[in-house]
Amino acid sequence: MLLLVNAALVYYTVWVFVLPFIEADWVHSCFPAREWAIRFPLMLLLFAWTVLGTYVAYVFLKGKGRKDVANGGGSDQACST
The tens digit of pLDDT for each residue in 8-41 reads 999 999 999 999 898 888 888 888 988 999 999 9
- In angstroms, the CA 81 to CA 78 distance is 10
Per-residue pLDDT band for 46 (boundaries 50, 70, 90) equals very high
Check: CB of residue 37 under 8 Å from CB of residue 15.
yes
- 30 phi, psi to nearest 5 deg: -85, -5
The more confident residue out of 73 and 14 is: 14
- HEC string of the chain equals CHHHHHHHHHHHHHHHHHHHHCCCHHHHCCCCCCCHHHHHHHHHHHHHHHHHHHHHHHHHHHHHHHHHHHCCCCCCCCCCC
Is 70 exceeded by the pLDDT of residue 71? no
